[in-house]
Homo-oligomer: A and B are copies of this chain.
Amino acid sequence: MKKASERKRNTYHVGNLRVLLLSAAREMLEEVGPTKLSVRAVSDKVGVSCTAAYHHFANRTELVGCLAAKGFDELATVLAEQDRGTPKEEKIRTASLAYFSFARKNPALYQLMFGPEFSDSEMISELQSSRREAFGELKRIVAEYLDKDAQTAEVRGAALAGWSHTHGLASLVIHNVVRPPAEITDERFVDMSLEGFRSIFAG
Protein backbone atom coordinates (compact mmCIF):
# COMPACT_ATOMS: atom_id res chain seq x y z
CA MET A 1 0.00 0.00 0.00
CA LYS A 2 2.66 2.49 0.96
CA LYS A 3 4.36 1.74 -2.29
CA ALA A 4 1.43 2.90 -4.38
CA SER A 5 2.67 6.44 -4.86
CA GLU A 6 6.21 5.29 -5.31
CA ARG A 7 5.23 2.83 -7.95
CA LYS A 8 3.17 5.41 -9.68
CA ARG A 9 6.14 7.72 -9.74
CA ASN A 10 8.32 4.97 -11.10
CA THR A 11 6.08 4.24 -13.98
CA TYR A 12 5.41 7.89 -14.65
CA HIS A 13 8.91 9.20 -14.94
CA VAL A 14 10.86 6.20 -16.05
CA GLY A 15 13.79 8.28 -17.23
CA ASN A 16 15.46 5.81 -19.55
CA LEU A 17 12.29 5.01 -21.44
CA ARG A 18 14.09 5.05 -24.74
CA VAL A 19 16.30 2.09 -23.90
CA LEU A 20 13.43 0.29 -22.17
CA LEU A 21 11.35 0.56 -25.33
CA LEU A 22 14.20 -0.65 -27.48
CA SER A 23 14.92 -3.69 -25.37
CA ALA A 24 11.23 -4.56 -25.07
CA ALA A 25 11.00 -4.29 -28.84
CA ARG A 26 13.99 -6.52 -29.29
CA GLU A 27 12.49 -9.10 -26.96
CA MET A 28 9.18 -9.13 -28.78
CA LEU A 29 10.71 -9.06 -32.22
CA GLU A 30 11.55 -12.73 -32.61
CA GLU A 31 8.15 -13.75 -31.23
CA VAL A 32 5.83 -11.61 -33.32
CA GLY A 33 7.95 -11.30 -36.44
CA PRO A 34 9.41 -8.27 -38.17
CA THR A 35 6.20 -6.89 -39.68
CA LYS A 36 3.93 -7.15 -36.65
CA LEU A 37 6.03 -5.26 -34.15
CA SER A 38 3.77 -2.38 -33.11
CA VAL A 39 4.48 0.79 -31.17
CA ARG A 40 1.40 0.13 -29.11
CA ALA A 41 2.35 -3.40 -28.12
CA VAL A 42 5.90 -2.38 -27.26
CA SER A 43 4.68 0.51 -25.11
CA ASP A 44 2.18 -1.81 -23.44
CA LYS A 45 4.93 -4.26 -22.60
CA VAL A 46 6.95 -1.52 -20.93
CA GLY A 47 3.83 -0.39 -19.10
CA VAL A 48 3.60 3.04 -20.60
CA SER A 49 1.09 4.79 -22.81
CA CYS A 50 1.79 4.37 -26.49
CA THR A 51 2.05 8.11 -27.03
CA ALA A 52 5.01 8.22 -24.66
CA ALA A 53 7.04 6.41 -27.30
CA TYR A 54 6.61 9.38 -29.61
CA HIS A 55 8.75 11.50 -27.30
CA HIS A 56 11.71 9.24 -28.02
CA PHE A 57 11.12 8.17 -31.60
CA ALA A 58 9.68 10.21 -34.42
CA ASN A 59 7.63 7.24 -35.60
CA ARG A 60 7.52 3.48 -35.86
CA THR A 61 10.10 3.48 -38.63
CA GLU A 62 12.61 5.20 -36.39
CA LEU A 63 12.06 2.79 -33.52
CA VAL A 64 12.40 -0.17 -35.78
CA GLY A 65 15.34 1.48 -37.54
CA CYS A 66 17.26 1.69 -34.28
CA LEU A 67 16.70 -2.01 -33.78
CA ALA A 68 18.02 -2.69 -37.26
CA ALA A 69 21.04 -0.46 -36.64
CA LYS A 70 21.89 -2.44 -33.53
CA GLY A 71 21.58 -5.57 -35.61
CA PHE A 72 24.21 -4.31 -38.04
CA ASP A 73 26.46 -3.41 -35.12
CA GLU A 74 26.14 -6.92 -33.72
CA LEU A 75 26.78 -8.40 -37.12
CA ALA A 76 29.94 -6.34 -37.58
CA THR A 77 31.13 -7.45 -34.15
CA VAL A 78 30.49 -11.11 -34.85
CA LEU A 79 32.32 -10.89 -38.16
CA ALA A 80 35.33 -9.22 -36.54
CA GLU A 81 35.42 -11.71 -33.66
CA GLN A 82 35.26 -14.76 -35.85
CA ASP A 83 37.83 -13.36 -38.22
CA ARG A 84 40.43 -12.79 -35.53
CA GLY A 85 43.10 -15.44 -35.85
CA THR A 86 41.60 -17.08 -38.91
CA PRO A 87 44.27 -18.08 -41.45
CA LYS A 88 44.08 -16.12 -44.67
CA GLU A 89 42.80 -18.89 -46.91
CA GLU A 90 39.91 -19.60 -44.56
CA LYS A 91 38.77 -16.00 -44.15
CA ILE A 92 35.98 -16.02 -46.72
CA ARG A 93 34.56 -19.27 -45.49
CA THR A 94 34.70 -18.21 -41.85
CA ALA A 95 33.05 -14.88 -42.58
CA SER A 96 30.32 -16.52 -44.66
CA LEU A 97 29.66 -18.94 -41.85
CA ALA A 98 29.59 -16.26 -39.15
CA TYR A 99 27.26 -14.17 -41.27
CA PHE A 100 24.95 -17.05 -42.07
CA SER A 101 24.68 -18.26 -38.51
CA PHE A 102 24.01 -14.75 -37.23
CA ALA A 103 21.09 -14.57 -39.64
CA ARG A 104 19.77 -17.97 -38.59
CA LYS A 105 20.00 -17.15 -34.91
CA ASN A 106 18.13 -13.86 -35.33
CA PRO A 107 15.76 -14.42 -38.22
CA ALA A 108 13.28 -11.68 -37.39
CA LEU A 109 16.01 -9.15 -36.70
CA TYR A 110 17.71 -10.14 -39.93
CA GLN A 111 14.49 -9.71 -41.89
CA LEU A 112 14.09 -6.30 -40.32
CA MET A 113 17.62 -5.29 -41.26
CA PHE A 114 17.07 -6.18 -44.91
CA GLY A 115 13.34 -5.77 -45.08
CA PRO A 116 11.17 -3.35 -47.02
CA GLU A 117 10.69 -0.94 -44.12
CA PHE A 118 13.51 1.40 -45.06
CA SER A 119 13.13 1.34 -48.82
CA ASP A 120 14.05 4.91 -49.54
CA SER A 121 14.65 8.19 -47.79
CA GLU A 122 12.72 7.32 -44.68
CA MET A 123 15.87 5.97 -43.09
CA ILE A 124 17.75 7.26 -40.08
CA SER A 125 21.43 8.09 -40.31
CA GLU A 126 22.19 5.72 -37.44
CA LEU A 127 21.05 2.80 -39.54
CA GLN A 128 22.93 3.99 -42.57
CA SER A 129 26.23 4.28 -40.72
CA SER A 130 25.85 0.95 -38.91
CA ARG A 131 25.21 -0.68 -42.22
CA ARG A 132 28.21 0.94 -43.77
CA GLU A 133 30.38 -0.21 -40.91
CA ALA A 134 29.22 -3.82 -41.27
CA PHE A 135 29.96 -3.75 -44.98
CA GLY A 136 33.31 -2.13 -44.18
CA GLU A 137 34.17 -5.07 -41.97
CA LEU A 138 33.32 -7.38 -44.83
CA LYS A 139 35.50 -5.45 -47.23
CA ARG A 140 38.37 -5.47 -44.74
CA ILE A 141 38.17 -9.26 -44.50
CA VAL A 142 38.03 -9.68 -48.27
CA ALA A 143 40.94 -7.28 -48.69
CA GLU A 144 43.08 -9.35 -46.34
CA TYR A 145 42.05 -12.53 -48.08
CA LEU A 146 43.03 -11.15 -51.48
CA ASP A 147 46.05 -9.28 -50.12
CA LYS A 148 44.94 -6.12 -51.87
CA ASP A 149 44.07 -2.66 -50.70
CA ALA A 150 40.46 -2.34 -49.52
CA GLN A 151 39.80 0.52 -51.94
CA THR A 152 40.56 -1.38 -55.13
CA ALA A 153 37.82 -2.27 -57.56
CA GLU A 154 38.74 -5.91 -57.24
CA VAL A 155 38.13 -5.95 -53.50
CA ARG A 156 34.90 -4.03 -53.87
CA GLY A 157 33.67 -6.48 -56.47
CA ALA A 158 34.67 -9.51 -54.47
CA ALA A 159 33.08 -8.13 -51.31
CA LEU A 160 29.89 -7.38 -53.22
CA ALA A 161 29.85 -10.91 -54.62
CA GLY A 162 30.50 -12.50 -51.25
CA TRP A 163 27.93 -10.39 -49.49
CA SER A 164 25.33 -11.04 -52.18
CA HIS A 165 25.91 -14.74 -52.02
CA THR A 166 25.72 -15.13 -48.27
CA HIS A 167 22.89 -12.67 -47.87
CA GLY A 168 20.98 -14.45 -50.60
CA LEU A 169 21.54 -17.83 -49.03
CA ALA A 170 20.45 -16.59 -45.61
CA SER A 171 17.44 -14.82 -47.06
CA LEU A 172 16.28 -17.86 -49.00
CA VAL A 173 16.62 -20.08 -45.95
CA ILE A 174 14.96 -17.70 -43.51
CA HIS A 175 12.00 -17.22 -45.82
CA ASN A 176 11.68 -20.96 -46.26
CA VAL A 177 12.20 -20.69 -49.99
CA VAL A 178 15.02 -23.19 -49.65
CA ARG A 179 14.99 -25.77 -46.89
CA PRO A 180 18.38 -27.19 -45.92
CA PRO A 181 18.04 -30.92 -45.20
CA ALA A 182 17.53 -31.42 -41.47
CA GLU A 183 20.60 -33.60 -41.02
CA ILE A 184 22.90 -30.97 -42.48
CA THR A 185 24.64 -28.38 -40.32
CA ASP A 186 24.81 -24.69 -41.16
CA GLU A 187 28.48 -25.20 -41.80
CA ARG A 188 27.98 -27.91 -44.38
CA PHE A 189 25.17 -25.98 -46.02
CA VAL A 190 27.31 -22.89 -46.53
CA ASP A 191 30.11 -25.10 -47.82
CA MET A 192 27.74 -26.75 -50.27
CA SER A 193 26.84 -23.41 -51.73
CA LEU A 194 30.42 -22.16 -51.89
CA GLU A 195 31.37 -25.42 -53.53
CA GLY A 196 28.54 -24.87 -55.99
CA PHE A 197 30.11 -21.60 -57.03
CA ARG A 198 33.47 -23.22 -57.46
CA SER A 199 31.98 -25.70 -59.87
CA ILE A 200 30.29 -22.91 -61.82
CA PHE A 201 33.64 -21.23 -62.40
CA ALA A 202 35.58 -24.40 -62.99
CA GLY A 203 33.98 -24.78 -66.44
Which residues of A line the B interface, CB within 8 A?
33-35, 89, 92, 111, 114-120, 123, 131, 135, 142, 145-146, 154, 156-169, 171-172, 174-178, 192-201, 203
Number of copies: 2
Q: Which of B33, B159, B178, B194 contacts A116 (CB under 8 A)?
A: B33
Q: Which residues of B contact A156 (CB under 8 A)?
A: 196
With A160-B193, A168-B164, A172-B167 in contact, is A201–B199 under 8 Å at CB? Answer: no
With A119-B175, A145-B203, A168-B165 in contact, is A159–B33 under 8 Å at CB? Answer: no
User: Cβ of B161 and Cβ of A114 under 8 Å apart?
Assistant: no
With A35-B35, A167-B171, A168-B167 in contact, is A200–B116 under 8 Å at CB? Answer: no
Q: Which of B120, B131, B135, B146 contacts A203 (CB under 8 A)?
A: B146
Task: Tell me if A's interface is mostly helix, strand, loop or mixed.
Answer: helix
A20 to chain B, nearest CB (A): 26
User: Cβ of B116 and Cβ of A157 under 8 Å apart?
Assistant: no
With A131-B177, A164-B172, A193-B157 in contact, is A146–B114 under 8 Å at CB? Answer: no
Q: Which of A92, A154, A161 has the most CB of B within 10 A?
A: A161
User: Cβ of B119 and Cβ of A176 under 8 Å apart?
Assistant: yes
Q: Which residues of B contact A198 (CB under 8 A)?
A: 201
The complex places the Cα of A47 from the Cα of B161 at a distance, in Å, of 47
Q: Which residues of B contact A135 (CB under 8 A)?
A: 177
Q: Which residues of B contact A194 (CB under 8 A)?
A: 161
User: Cβ of A114 and Cβ of B159 under 8 Å apart?
Assistant: no
With A165-B168, A171-B167 in contact, is A160–B196 under 8 Å at CB? Answer: yes
Nearest B residue to A165 by beta-carbon distance? B165
Taking A116-B175, A158-B200 as known contacts, 20 extra A-B pairs with beta carbons closer than 8 A to each other, sorted by chain A number, are A89-B203, A114-B171, A119-B175, A119-B176, A135-B177, A145-B200, A145-B203, A157-B195, A158-B196, A158-B197, A158-B199, A160-B193, A162-B197, A163-B172, A164-B172, A164-B193, A165-B165, A197-B201, A198-B201, A201-B201
